[in-house]
């Protein structure tokens, strides 16, 4: 079957982002108790891929109103999927086949863009800045600052952790959160082909060579 093809108005930058978020309680404060959960695995991805220089994206991206005017598209893959409700500090596992999962975002680089715990900007290069939030990261508090520039084919890993203190959450049990992101600028594309369901997932391995920005703190 011939796939639908989208021609962009101008070349679009594409970032592959691997995300590994682990939220846990005090019963797993020992790293040995959670090391299997935080370990990177081969990811069965349905978020898009590049094959022989061609960009393939899932059909749901067609509903993004910024698709034809954006400068940057993300391809996002979760090592493990969790939803975190900052209102009641609870988390639940997300089923990988959940149709509401968002695999891709479209950004305009002429303005700052919020992405998870980051702000994406564009100066000479694509920049990632930390955007601290209590519920998004926890304590200890960090200052907002420029983390890195994203250079083509030079993956960056960013690790950060935090806790929500019981004194700030009406006496509820503390929640701990580890976040690990790997970001790779994989190229510029003039067009993409659209993957329509049902289509097979693609095994992806995280880049073995990458620069680490370690913002982890001792929480105990």
> What digits encode the pLDDT tens for the residues 111-149?
999 999 999 999 999 999 999 999 999 999 999 999 999
pLDDT of residue 89: 42
In angstroms, rounded to a whole number, what is the distance separating the alpha carbons of residues 120 and 114? 6
pLDDT in tens, 196-215: 999 999 999 999 999 999 99
Are residues 71 and 122 in contact, defined by beta-carbon separation less than 8 angstroms?
yes
Task: Give 93-119 pLDDT, tens digit per residue.
Answer: 443 334 467 899 999 999 999 999 999
Q: What is the pLDDT, as a whole number, of residue 94? A: 43
pLDDT for the residue numbered 172:
63
| End-to-end Cα, the chain, rounded Å | 56
CA-CA distance, 20 to 40, in Å (whole number)?
8
* pLDDT in the model for residue 171: 56
Both tokens assigned to 161: 């952790």
User: Which two structure tokens, joined as six digits, stand for 194?
Assistant: 């659209």
Let me know: does 38 contact 32? Beta carbons within 8 Å.
no
The rounded radius of gyration (Å) of the Cα atoms in the chain is 18
Burial of residue 9, with CB atoms counted within 10 A of its CB: 0-12 exposed, 13-18 middle, 19 or more buried: exposed
Q: pTM of the predicted model, to two decimals? A: 0.88
Q: What is the pLDDT of residues 47-100, one digit of tens each?
A: 999 999 999 999 999 999 999 999 999 999 999 755 444 444 444 444 333 446
Give the C-alpha separation, 1 to 67, whole Å: 24
Choose among 142, 143, 144, 165: nearest CA to 220. Answer: 165
pLDDT of residue 170: 54
Output DSSP code: residue 139: B
Q: Answer yes or no: are the C-beta atoms of 219 and 163 closer than 8 Å.
A: yes
Note the pLDDT of residue 37: 85
Strand partners, 6: 192
């Amino acid at each position: 079957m011939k796939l639908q093809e989208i021609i962009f108005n101008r070349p679009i930058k594409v970032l592959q982002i691997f995300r590994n978020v682990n939220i846990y309680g005090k019963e797993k404060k020992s790293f040995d108790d959670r090391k299997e959960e935080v370990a990177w695995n081969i990811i069965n991805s349905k978020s898009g891929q590049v094959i022989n220089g061609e960009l393939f994206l899932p059909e749901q991206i067609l509903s993004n109103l910024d698709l034809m005017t954006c400068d940057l598209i993300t391809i996002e893959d979760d090592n493990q999927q969790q939803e975190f409700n900052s209102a009641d500090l609870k988390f639940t596992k997300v089923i990988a086949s959940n149709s509401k999962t968002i695999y891709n975002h479209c950004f305009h680089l002429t303005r700052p863009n919020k992405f998870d715990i980051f702000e994406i900007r564009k100066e000479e290069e694509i920049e990632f800045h930390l955007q601290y939030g209590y519920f998004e990261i926890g304590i200890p508090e960090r200052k907002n600052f420029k983390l890195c520039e994203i250079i083509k084919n030079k993956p960056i890993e960013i690790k950060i952790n935090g806790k929500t203190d019981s004194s700030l959450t009406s006496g509820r049990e503390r929640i701990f959160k580890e976040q690990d992101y790997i970001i790779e600028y994989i190229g510029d594309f003039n067009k993409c082909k659209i993957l329509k369901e049902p289509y097979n997932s693609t095994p992806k391995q995280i880049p073995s060579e990458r620069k680490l920005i370690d913002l982890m703190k001792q929480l105990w």
